[in-house]
Chains A and B, each alone.
Chain A
Amino acid sequence: MTLWTTVLLASGLAFALKFLGYVVPHQVLDGVIVSRVTAMLPVALLSALVVVQTFTIPGGALTLDARAAGLAVAVTALLLRAPFLVVVILAAATAATLRALGWG
């Protein structure tokens, strides 16, 4: 799949899912189980993305490097109710600083 195919296919499906909500009869997707699964999907996916992008290298092997320190700083910033952009910049700055000092 080329990058453009990925971009356009993901975009098309994203719109189709949004549009579906406006055209299907209201009862179809309104069950409690469907609601619960749909509420939990972003939680599971985002959590998995966090750990995979922090603790693995290309190929999938587990590792501990400057990104882990960046994540620890991000979590601390979130606990202190920092806004999104501050969280992201602090994590990047932490990893960049550690690498400049020769670690990770």
Chain B
Amino acid sequence: MTTNAVHGPRLADQRRREVIRQCLSVGIATGAYGISFGALSVAAGLSLWQTIALSALLFSGASQFAVVGIIAGGGAGAAAVATSSLLGLRNGLYGLQMSRLLGVRGLRRVPAAQLTIDESTAVAIAQAEPAAQRLGFWGTGLAVYVLWNLTTILGAIVGNALGDPKRFGLDAAAPAAFCALLWPRLKTGDARAVAAVAAVIALVVAPHAPAGVPVLVAALAAVVAGLLPSRGPQGPRWRNDVGNPATPPDEAAA
């Protein structure tokens, strides 16, 4: 085993295999629901290439589901872009933490940034030693990227073949997908309160505002919750969202 002053000791082979196994299992679990994204996207009226572009370029599950969900509901492009970007804000904070962990400079920051999502961040910070953290980040990011993009294409082709989305309940699949993405984030009382208030706001606003806007107004619940003192002893710091051992990496989806 050699020691490098900047990057820390190298990993033993057994530990290396262990981390790679984690990366692949998270990649496969996440990749599996790329199928539902692909199918929902074409059902929403996006073309195959637009669907592929979202997975390859946007590459952040919740934002992608939001874009196609709002378009499917007849929302304006601006509302879709705004909701997607608000959901993507957290990736910026993950990036802030990952940049410390990965020590990337120059052009390597481009692939690092593109692969900065819930899953890669979760696997990275679940590791104890720096070399395993870096392996966890790159391994998970690449595994999810490859599988998510392949299953998106598969889902889009299957979705196109199905035809009328309502006949197969695809319009019920979208809220179920959002619910599954929300689920692992509801571990604290604060989070459950924010979710409840946001739901009420959205339903009250919906009949009186253009599609897509109710969701943005509901985001105010998060801003207010952030400004109020936490009810919990420590407060739901965002790091705990993915770093808490109680949250297995494969549950911190999208």
Contacts and interface: CB of A to CB of B under 8 A. Distances in A.
A67 B109 CA distance: 42
Given A33-B227, A91-B175, A96 B168 contact: yes
Given A14-B60, A39-B236, A3 B211 contact: no
Interface residues of B, number: 110
A47 B198 contact: yes
A5 B90 CA distance: 23
A7 B241 CA distance: 28
Interface string B185-211: 110001100111111011100111111
A36 B238 contact: yes
A12 B73 CA distance: 23
Contacts of A50: 175, 178-179, 182, 199
Contacts of A18: 60, 88, 91-92, 94-95, 113-114, 116
B146 interface: no
Of the candidates B45, B77, B104, the one having the most CB atoms from chain A within 10 angstroms of its own CB is B77
B177 A88 contact: yes
A7 B45 CA distance: 12
B32 interface: yes
A49 interface: yes
Contacts of A6: 67, 71, 77, 80-81
B50 A21 contact: no
Contacts of A54: 172, 175
A4 B50 contact: yes
Contact of A66 (B73, B96, B169): B169
B58 A10 contact: yes
Given A14-B63, A92-B173, A74 B73 contact: no
Interface string A24-51: 1010011011111111111111111111
Given A6-B67, A8-B57, A84 B253 contact: yes
Contacts of B81: 1, 6, 9-10, 13
Contact of B33 (A19, A52, A84): A84
Interface in B151-198: 166-183, 185-186, 190-191, 194-198
B66 A21 contact: no
Contact of B180 (A23, A45, A87): A87
Interface stretch (B1-9, B11-19, B127-135, B217-225): B217-225
A90 B46 CA distance: 24
A61 B59 CA distance: 32
B202 A52 contact: yes
12 contacts: A14-B88, A18-B92, A22-B104, A35-B237, A40-B236, A42-B87, A45-B62, A50-B175, A55-B206, A56-B203, A60-B208, A92-B170
Going nearest first, the 5 A-B pairs with the smallest beta carbon separation are A21-B95, A1-B77, A70-B172, A37-B226, A91-B176
Interface of A: 1-15, 17-24, 26, 29-30, 32-56, 58-62, 66-67, 69-71, 73-75, 78, 83-85, 87-97, 99
Given A24-B96, A40-B191, A45-B218, 14 more contacts: A4-B50, A10-B67, A14-B63, A20-B95, A40-B236, A41-B222, A45-B66, A56-B206, A61-B207, A70-B172, A71-B179, A74-B179, A83-B32, A88-B177
